Structure 1
Amino acid sequence: MPLPGGAARRVSGLLPVFPWDRLEPYKATAAEHPDGIVDLSVGTPVDPVPELVQNALTAAADSPGYPTVWGTPALRDALVGWSERRLGASGLTHRHVLPLVGSKELVASLPTQLGLGPGDRVAYPRLAYPTYEVGARLARAEHTVYDDPWELDPAGLKLLWLNSPSNPTGRVLTVAELRRTVGWAREHGVLLVSDECYLELGWEAEPVSVLHPDVCDGVYDGLVAVHSLSKRSNLAGYRAAFLAGDPAVLGELLEIRKHSGLMVPAPVQAATAAALADTAHVEQQRARYAARRSALRGALEACGFRIEHSEASLYLWATRDEPCWETVADLAEHGVLVAPGEFYGAAGARFVRIALTATDERISAAVQRLKA
């Protein structure tokens, strides 16, 4: 007889080894530093949740009933309003938005929710967030990487991921590149989903949404944008994110998600609406990250690193032209933990990703250790 849980193990067998487990020995080494570890590996926010967001969450704490998957009208108003103000989209209605329980669950489950399977293909950038591949594997669909999406073979391609600003490289796609990709996807009937979770963190370039009229001419057919409040508002712990775009696609996802019970908790819905209505806390957080970025970049370049791309997002994409694990090991000896570029694809084998998400004190400690 098969062992209990055998089916679950067959599913987990579809997946690669969880990459962060491989970093544990280096984390242990870094933690032995007399002044403690400086963890710049995972981009998890460390700064306070804005007070106005905490207040909104508290005010909605008495929420005994089930929330709706589509969200409250107030939340949908907030999603539409922010998308119009920040992304430049126009003519949006509630049918053009859909709240998420964090963006990662959507990335990992989207191919399955779209009904993709064997024989279907999912494409994503050659250097990319590993969960794009995970989503394809969970659906038992094929997956492929690209340098320029319009050079892909469209046969069997059902889902095309864009990511601008990029995780891990921080690269920002131009309006011309976005327009060309949108035109190509529409020509071949491919759903284009743009991961724009770092859009509000442009430094040397201004990221543009795939929903901006300069990109899509105000037509949202076949286009979906993914947005998150984790980085802009320090809400990673709240799991607050949403989709905007093609109402036909979002309507189908809404029906599936109703059956799956993928509901954003009511207090989080209220907190999300409050966060999207305020820009002051976003500018304050940007200023924090800008200062940390400047300090880290200067220290890295002074000790022999070359920074590539990194014109946006919360990371520096750095190399000393050596295998990434050698860089990880050397920095761990100095008490600094970074992510090997190999986590994001073979093309990252000589790079490391260095996150800005540490306190000012820890960033200062890293800078001092790099100078030593």
Structure 2
Amino acid sequence: MPAASARPSASHGQSLRDRLPAFPWDKLEPYKKTAAAHPDGIVDLSVGTPVDPVPELVQKALMDAADSPGYPTVWGTLALRDAITGWLERRLGARDVTHHHVLPVVGSKELVAWLPTQLGLGPGDKVAYPRLAYPTYEVGARLARADYEVYDDPRELDPSGLKLLWLNSPSNPTGRVLSKEDLAGIVSWAREHGVLLVSDECYLELGWDADPVSVLHPDVNEGSYDGVVAVHSLSKRSNLAGYRAAFIAGDPTVLGPLLEIRKHGGMMTPAPTQAAAVAALGDDEHVRVQRERYAARREALRGALLGHGFRIEHSEASLYLWATRDESCWDTVSHLAGLGILVAPGDFYGEAGDRFVRVALTATDERVRAAVARL
């Protein structure tokens, strides 16, 4: 009698899907159709994907590295690790950063989604993240079958069973920035309770009414990287979302095992992307130019939204305006869709956002002008 097939059953696939929430952006499709029907076309301020050109020096670095027939390394080239450590010290004020303090990743979303699993978390372990937050923090906990909870101030959490604490400053979606004093207090609390603190700092170079500080700064971590990891991305500051270029930095006792796990998993940043990242991290001018673009769009959209009866909270940094008309977020989405403008409903980021919308600054100058005129 032949052996039973080891092929996964349909019910097995269903159980995997059951561990994940419904993909939120699917709910926005009807409103996208409404907005697209506007005579002058849609102004899409929902997803937050970069629309401006990739800097020429980055494109050139990518093309120069196009003949890359061999496998790249998970840890990255020496040039990439040098570029990351140099940027951390130059831009964030980090000190004594070595190659053992850094690890390239294949875009930051991949890292966020799989970090709890790669850390070996599972049932009975707890992951915590802000009450209003990037949905992938929850997805990562679910994939690992870990427990999860939200917080307003992490220092008010019960630390028992808490293995991973996510910070996000500047925040997606609210643009809120944690002060240096708050960051230092949270780092101290996490260390006291043996909790790994991972700070998502992907919008750190986009501060407007505040100057965001990294957990890697010695004023925050007291000159030690113990129990602290920061996540950084080139997607927004360098328009490289299509390149999948990001990295983590911090405690070598955390990054070392992650490097080994990621070697086994084949999580390698492509060699041309690594070369492009070296160019991007070594040049501050293109970041300044891109900041100026976003600053002008932010000023125009902010004024138009306020004039249209919106109230804007936080939004002191990042690529979004966190706006409300003190009504259901879906009523606001519908209202703006009728004007041909698509925004993200606040409840995508947690129940506490159910009366807000997130308005992205990532549209061309021409489309931003169109939105301003309609508002």
Using the size of structure 1 for normalisation, the TM-score is 0.98
Q: Which residue of 1 aligns with 2:261?
A: 256
Which residue of 126, 130, 138 corresponds with 1:125?
130
2:281 is equivalent to residue 281 of structure 1: no
Task: Tell me: CA distance 1:144–1:250, structure 2 relative to 1, closer, same or farther (3 Å).
Answer: same
Q: SS where residue 167 of structure 1 aligns?
A: coil
Q: Distance between the aligned counterparts of 1:44 and 1:36, measured in 2?
A: 18
Q: Which residue of 2 aligns with 1:204?
A: 209
Q: Which residue of 2 aligns with 1:32?
A: 37
Q: SS where residue 122 of structure 1 aligns?
A: strand
Structural mapping, 1:58-97, within 5 Å: 58-97=63-102
Q: SS where residue 144 of structure 1 aligns?
A: strand
Q: What is the CA deviation profile of residues 253-279 of structure 1, one whole-angstrom value per residue up to 9, with x for unaligned ones?
A: 000000000000000000000000000
Q: SS where residue 232 of structure 1 aligns?
A: coil
Q: Percent identity?
A: 77
Q: Which residue of 2 aligns with 1:243?
A: 248
Q: SS where residue 61 of structure 1 aligns?
A: coil
Unaligned runs of 5+ in 2: none
Structural mapping, 1:124-273, within 5 Å: 124-273=129-278
Q: Distance between the aligned counterparts of 2:17 and 2:236, measured in 1?
A: 29
Please tell me the residue identity of whatever aligns with 2:102: V
Q: SS where residue 321 of structure 2 aligns?
A: strand
Please tell me the residue identity of whatever aligns with 1:307: I
Q: What is the CA deviation profile of residues 201-226 of structure 1, one whole-angstrom value per residue up to 9, with x for unaligned ones?
A: 00000000001011001100000000
Q: What is the CA deviation profile of residues 15-73 of structure 1, one whole-angstrom value per residue up to 9, with x for unaligned ones?
A: 11000000000000000000000000001000000000000000000000000000000
Q: Distance between the aligned counterparts of 1:273 and 1:59, measured in 2?
A: 12
Q: SS where residue 210 of structure 1 aligns?
A: coil
Deviation at 1:336, TM superposition (A): 0.1
Structural mapping, 1:324-363, within 5 Å: 324-363=329-368
Deviation at 1:3, TM superposition (A): 7.2
Please tell me the residue identity of whatever aligns with 2:71: Y
Please tell me the residue identity of whatever aligns with 1:12: R
Which residue of 108, 112, 120 corresponds with 1:107?
112
Deviation at 1:5, TM superposition (A): 4.6
Q: Distance between the aligned counterparts of 2:10 and 2:253, measured in 1?
A: 37
Please tell me the residue identity of whatever aligns with 1:360: D
Equivalent residues, number:
370
Q: Distance between the aligned counterparts of 1:118 and 1:257, measured in 2?
A: 22
2:15 is equivalent to residue 10 of structure 1: yes
Task: Tell me: CA distance 1:142–1:295, structure 2 relative to 1, closer, same or farther (3 Å).
Answer: same
Q: Distance between the aligned counterparts of 2:50 and 2:13, measured in 1?
A: 32
Q: Distance between the aligned counterparts of 2:183 and 2:10, measured in 1?
A: 44
Unaligned runs of 5+ in 1: none
Q: SS where residue 165 of structure 1 aligns?
A: coil
Deviation at 1:4, TM superposition (A): 4.3
Q: Distance between the aligned counterparts of 1:213 and 1:93, measured in 2?
A: 15
Q: Distance between the aligned counterparts of 1:356 and 1:99, measured in 2?
A: 27
Deviation at 1:138, TM superposition (A): 0.3
Q: Distance between the aligned counterparts of 2:8 and 2:338, measured in 1?
A: 43
- Large movers: runs of 4+ above 3 Å: 1-6
Q: Distance between the aligned counterparts of 1:297 and 1:111, measured in 2?
A: 37
Q: Which residue of 1 aligns with 2:320?
A: 315
2:299 is equivalent to residue 294 of structure 1: yes
